[in-house]
Amino acid sequence: MAANNIAKTVGKLAIVAVGMFAFVFVVMVPLYNTLCDVLGLNGKYSGKQYEVVQANVDKGRSVTVQFVAANAEGMPWQFRPVEASIVIHPGAVNTIEFYAKNITGSDMVAQAVPSFVPSRSAQYFHKTECFCFRRQPLKAGEEATLPVQFIVDQDLPAEVTNITLSYTLFDVTAMDKASKGVANR
Amino acid sequence: MGEHHHGPAKGLTRWLYTTNHKDIGTLYLWFSFAMFILGGSFAMIIRAELFQPGLQLVHPEFFNQMTTMHGLVMVFGAIMPAFVGLANWMIPMMIGAPDMALPRMNNLSFWILPFAFAMLASTLFMQGGAPNFGWTFYAPLSTTYAPPSVTFFIFAIHIMGASSIMGSINIIATVVNLRAPGMTYMKMPLFVWTWFITAFLLVAVMPVLAGAVTMMLMDIHFGTSFFSAAGGGDPVLFQHVFWFFGHPEVYILILPGFGVVSQIIPTFARKPLFGYASMVYATASIAFLSFIVWAHHMYTVGLPVAGELFFMYATLLIAVPTGVKVFNWITTMFKGSMTFETPMLFSIAFVFLFTVGGLSGVMLAMAPVDFQYQDTYFVVAHFHYTMVAGAIFSLTAATYYWLPKWTGRMYSETMGKTHFWLSFFAFNLTFFPQHFVGLAGMPRRIPDYALQFADFNMVSSIGAFFYGSSQILFLFNVIRTIRSGRPITDPKVWEGAQGLEWTVATPAPYHTFTTPPEVK
C-alpha cells in the first residue's frame, strides 16, 4: 500500500523533472526568440524578409542612418560599408551596399548578424532585401558588394533622428559544412 | 527478510552498499566537508593573490580557474550535499519514519557525486586548464572561448543534477508518504517544511540547468547555435536560462538553513517558534517568487524599461516574506530563557548577518543603482553574507546541535565557542570591507586591482586566512567528539529541545521508528 503510493509520488515527480528539461528546449528558446521578435527587444532582427507595402513618403522628416561593419574574432575578411551614412525619409525605399573580400587562400562562408542602436528602432527598420538573410560564401580571394534594401517605417518615434545599423561578420565555414542540407533559420 | 534490529555491516562495504538513511546522511556530510575544504583552499589562493595589488603568486589564467572552481565546488559540492546529508539524517527521525522512501535510490544519488567531483577536479590537471569562465559560465565565454575541459565540466554538472533530482524526489516521497500517524503537514517541524519546499524547487530547476549545459554541449560539439549570434542564436538567451535556474538555486541553498535556525532558536530560547504557520507560508511565498525574479541578475544586458521595473518590484517583494521570518526569529527569542551554547550562537549570528546580506540584496535589487553595483565586489560581499553567514553558519549550527544526538557524545563547548567567535570576527573582517571596495568600483573576478583598494583587500585576505584556519578547529572538535567526547545518554540532549528526534535514544540507534510513533 505504502509502496504503491510512493511509486505514484515518484512517477509524478519524474514527469515534472523530464517536463522541465523539455520545457527549456520547446518553450523557453522559442518563446525568447518570439518575444524578442515581437517586442523588438535586444536589437534582435527577425531575419524575415519584409513585404513592401505602398506607403506615403514622409518628405518632411529626415533620419540619418549610419552603417558600421565589424569582424567577429578570427574572421579575416575585409568588410566595410561602401557609404558610412545616408540621410533618408521614412517610407522611402533605400538601397545601400557593403563591400566584402575574402583575403584568405581558402573558400569560406560568412554570416552577418545585424544589430541596431537604439535597439527599439529594430522593429521600425524593414529590410526588403539583405545579404544577412542567408549565408554568404566567397571563394579564396573573391570580393563582392552586398546590397541592403530597406524602408524605415513612418511610425518611427519622433525623437529618433539617428539609427545605427551594425553588422558583425562571423566565420561559419565549419558550421555550414556541419549543417549542409539543413535549412537555414 | 532478515531480523530487524541488526546493526550496521562491517568494513568498507557498509558504506558502499548502505541503504540506511543515517549512514547515507553521514556520507553526505563528510563528503560535503571535504568539498568545503577543497573549495576553501581555492578561496585561500584567491585571497593570497589579492593580498597585494599586482601579480605575485599565480597567473591570471589560473586565478580565473580558481574563482570558477571555488564557486562551483562550494555551491554544488559543499552547501547542497551538506543540506541533503542533514535531510537524510533528520527528516525520517523528525516525521517518525523508519527510513527514506527510496533507500536504494538514496545510495545511488550519493555515490554518483564523488565521480562528478572527481571529474570536475581532474580538469585542473588537463591541457588548457580547468573551467575559467566563472561559476555562472556565461556563453560564449563557456562555449566558443572555453578551454577543452568544458566538456568534462558539462558532464559533471549533469551528474550533480541527476544526484540532486533523485535526492529531492526521495525527500518529497518520504514526506508525502511516510509521516507517522497524526503527523499532519502543519505539525511538521520547520526543517522538514523548508526542505519539502526546497525539494520541489530542485525538481523544477535542476532539469533547467541540465538543459542549459546540454545546449552548451550541442553548441560546442554538434554545430547548433543556441548561444552563438553567428548562427542566429543569442548569448543573452543563455543568461535567461541560467538565471531561471540560478535564482531558485540561491533559495535552494538558503531555505534549509532557515529551517535549521527555526529548530535551534526555540530550543535555546525555551519557547515555541513564534508564528509557525506564517513561517510555512513565508517559505512557500519565497519559493514561488524565486521563479519570477531571475532577470534582476541581468539589469545591464539591455532589458526594456518595463522588464526592469517588473523584475525590480517582484524582487523587492521578496523582502516581505523574508522580513516575516526574521521578525519571527527575533520574536521567538524575545523574553525567552535564552542560553548561548554554540549552536545558538551560530543561529543568532545567522539571523543578524543574513539580514545584513538581505539588506545589501535590497540595494542590488533596485535597477537604477544596480548599474553601479553590477559585477563589483559589492555583489561578492552580498552573496557571501547570505551564503557563508547564511548557509554555512546554519550548517555549522546544525552540526553542533545534532552531533550529540548522532554520536552520543558531547562536543567541547569551549572549543565550539572559540570556533564561533573566530568565525564570526574573521568572516566580518573578510567580507565587510568588500562592500566598500565594491562601491568604490573594484570589479569582481580580477587577479589585480587599482592601488586605492590595497588596504581593504589586505584586511580582507587576513580575515579570510583566519576564517579558513578556524574551520580546522571545527574539524578537530568534531573528530575529538566522535572519538573521545563526553558520553551522554539523555534522549533530549538539550533542555528545551522539542520534536520526535529527541524521543529516540542517544546516540540514535541504527534503526529508529520501525513502528511508527503516535503523534498527538
Q: How far apart are CA B520 and CA B507, in angstroms?
A: 25
- pLDDT at res. A1: 55
Whether A9 and B226 lie within 8 Å, measured CB to CB: no
Residue B3 has pLDDT above 50, yes or no: no
- Distance between B121 CA and the closest CA of chain A, angstroms: 26
Confidence band, pLDDT 50/70/90 cuts, at residue A184:
very low
C-alpha closest to that of A168 among B160, B90, B234, B289: B234
Q: Which residues of A touch B206 (CB under 8 A)?
A: 17
Where in the sequence numbering do the catalytic residues of B fall? 70, 99, 135, 163-164, 247, 249, 251, 262, 296-297, 322, 325, 444
Distances (CA, A) of B432 to A99, B139, B449, B475: 55, 31, 18, 25
Among chain A residues, the shortest Cα distance to B226 is held by A29
Q: Phi-psi category of A32—alpha, beta or left, where left has phi over 0 and alpha has psi -120 to 50?
A: alpha
Q: How far apart are CA A126 and CA B219, in angstroms?
A: 30
- Distance between A181 CA and the closest CA of chain B, angstroms: 13
C-alpha closest to that of B94 among B481, B344, B398, B495: B398
Q: What is the CATH number of domain B13-91+146-178+195-489?
A: 1.20.210.10
Confidence band, pLDDT 50/70/90 cuts, at residue A121:
confident
C-alpha closest to that of B105 among B168, B178, B191, B33: B168
- Please state whether beta strands A63-71 and A162-171 pair in parallel, antiparallel, or not at all (unpaired): parallel
Residue of B237, B239, B300, B513 best to disrupt the A interface, most CBs of A under 10 A:
B237
- pLDDT at res. B349: 98
Task: Write down the pTM of the prediction.
Answer: 0.89
Confidence band, pLDDT 50/70/90 cuts, at residue A34:
confident
Average pLDDT over every residue of B135-154: 94
Read off the pLDDT of residues B116-131 as tens digits, 9 standing for 90 and up.
999 999 999 999 999 9
Residue B503 has pLDDT above 90, yes or no: yes
Confidence band, pLDDT 50/70/90 cuts, at residue A154:
confident
Whether A185 and B232 lie within 8 Å, measured CB to CB: yes
In b/e form, how buried is each residue of A48-81, taking b as 16+ CB within 10 angstroms?
A: eebeeeeeeeeeeeebebebebebbeebebebbb
Average pLDDT over every residue of B486-493: 94
Interface of A with B in 63-92 (CB under 8 A): 72
Q: Which of A21, A29, A172 sits opposite B226 (nearest CB)?
A: A29
Q: Which residues of A touch B240 (CB under 8 A)?
A: 28, 32
Average pLDDT, rounded, for chain B: 95
Strand partners, A149: A95, A129
Q: Where are chain B's structural domains?
A: 13-91+146-178+195-489
Read off the pLDDT of residues B176-224 as tens digits, 9 standing for 90 and up.
999 999 999 999 999 999 999 999 999 999 999 999 999 999 999 987 8
Q: How far apart are CA B63 and CA B58, in angstroms?
A: 6
DSSP per-residue codes, B177-235: H-PPTT--GGGS-HHHHHHHHHHHHHHHHHHHHHHHHHHHHHHHHS---SS-GGGT--H
- pLDDT at res. A43: 60
Is cis: bond before B114, omega within 30 of 0?
A: no
Whether A21 and B230 lie within 8 Å, measured CB to CB: no
Q: Where are chain A's structural domains?
A: 2-39, 43-178
Q: How far apart are CA A92 and CA B106, in angstroms?
A: 68
C-alpha closest to that of B77 among B362, B391, B352: B391
Whether A21 and B176 lie within 8 Å, measured CB to CB: no
Q: Which of B172, B178, B223 sits opposite A178 (nearest CB)?
A: B223
Put simply, whether B215 touches A (Cβ < 8 Å) is yes
What residues contact B504, with CB distance under 8 A and at least 6 apart?
B93, B491, B512, B513
Q: What percent of chain B has pLDDT over 90?
A: 93
Put simply, whether B211 touches A (Cβ < 8 Å) is yes
Residue B408 has pLDDT above 70, yes or no: yes
Q: How many A/B residue pairs have CB atoms within 8 Å? A: 105
Q: How far apart are CA B105 and CA B107, in angstroms?
A: 5
- Distance between B168 CA and the closest CA of chain A, angstroms: 9
**Which cell numbers in the block locate residue B51?**
593580498
- pLDDT at res. B498: 93
- pLDDT at res. A185: 39
Q: Which of B169, B230, B241 sits opposite A14 (nearest CB)?
A: B169
Put simply, whether B244 touches A (Cβ < 8 Å) is yes
Residue B489 burial class via C-beta count within 10 angstroms: exposed 0-12, middle 13-18, buried 19 and up: exposed
Read off the pLDDT of residues A51-78 as tens digits, 9 standing for 90 and up.
666 667 888 889 999 999 989 878 899 9
**Which cell numbers in the block locate residue A153?**
517605417
- pLDDT at res. B73: 97
Average pLDDT over every residue of B349-371: 96
**Which cell numbers in the block locate residue B49?**
593573490
Q: Which range has the worst mean pLDDT, A102-116, B92-106, B448-462, B467-481?
A: A102-116
Confidence band, pLDDT 50/70/90 cuts, at residue A44:
low
Instruction: Report whether A137 contacts A108 (CB < 8 A).
Output: yes
Average pLDDT over every residue of A28-38: 84
Instruction: Report whether B117 contacts B156 (CB < 8 A).
Output: yes
Residue A47 has pLDDT above 60, yes or no: no
Q: What percent of chain B has pLDDT over 70?
A: 99
- Distance between B487 CA and the closest CA of chain A, angstroms: 38
ipTM comes to 0.88
Residue A40 has pLDDT above 70, yes or no: no
- Please state whether beta strands A63-71 and A78-81 pair in parallel, antiparallel, or not at all (unpaired): unpaired
Whether B229 and A42 lie within 8 Å, measured CB to CB: no
Among chain A residues, the shortest Cα distance to B230 is held by A170
Q: Which of A36, A119, A172 sits opposite B230 (nearest CB)?
A: A172
Q: How many CB atoms lie within 10 A of CB B132?
A: 26
- Distance between A129 CA and the closest CA of chain B, angstroms: 18
Residue A11 has pLDDT above 50, yes or no: yes
- pLDDT at res. A183: 42
Instruction: Report whether A140 contacts A110 (CB < 8 A).
Output: no
Q: How far apart are CA B450 and CA B53, in angstroms?
A: 7
Q: Which range has the worst mean pLDDT, A164-173, B242-251, B481-490, B494-503?
A: A164-173
- pLDDT at res. A182: 46
Interface of B with A in 123-182 (CB under 8 A): 165, 168-169, 172-173, 176-178
- pLDDT at res. A72: 83
Among chain A residues, the shortest Cα distance to B212 is held by A24
Put simply, whether B206 touches A (Cβ < 8 Å) is yes
Average pLDDT over every residue of B87-96: 97
Q: Name the DSSP class of A180.
A: T
- pLDDT at res. B398: 98
Residue B514 burial class via C-beta count within 10 angstroms: exposed 0-12, middle 13-18, buried 19 and up: exposed
Question: Mean pLDDT highest for which of A89-93, A122-126, B103-107?
Answer: B103-107
- pLDDT at res. B224: 83
Distances (CA, A) of B365 to B103, B227, B312, B358, B430: 41, 26, 6, 10, 23
Q: How far apart are CA B474 and CA B495, in angstroms?
A: 24
Whether B302 and A42 lie within 8 Å, measured CB to CB: yes
- pLDDT at res. B4: 53
Confidence band, pLDDT 50/70/90 cuts, at residue B303:
confident
Whether B211 and A185 lie within 8 Å, measured CB to CB: no
Residue B304 burial class via C-beta count within 10 angstroms: exposed 0-12, middle 13-18, buried 19 and up: middle
Residue A15 has pLDDT above 60, yes or no: yes
User: Which CATH superfamily includes the segment(s) A43-178?
Assistant: Ctag/Cox11 (2.60.370.10)
Q: What are phi and psi of B225, to 5 degrees?
A: -135, 50
Read off the pLDDT of residues B439-464 as tens digits, 9 standing for 90 and up.
999 999 999 999 999 999 999 999 99
Q: Which residues of A touch B308 (CB under 8 A)?
A: none
Instruction: Report whether A139 contacts A174 (CB < 8 A).
Output: no
What residues contact B352, with CB distance under 8 A and at least 6 apart?
none
Q: Name the DSSP class of A115.
A: E
Q: How far apart are CA A119 and CA A163, in angstroms?
A: 9
- pLDDT at res. A168: 87
Higher pLDDT, B92 or A180: B92
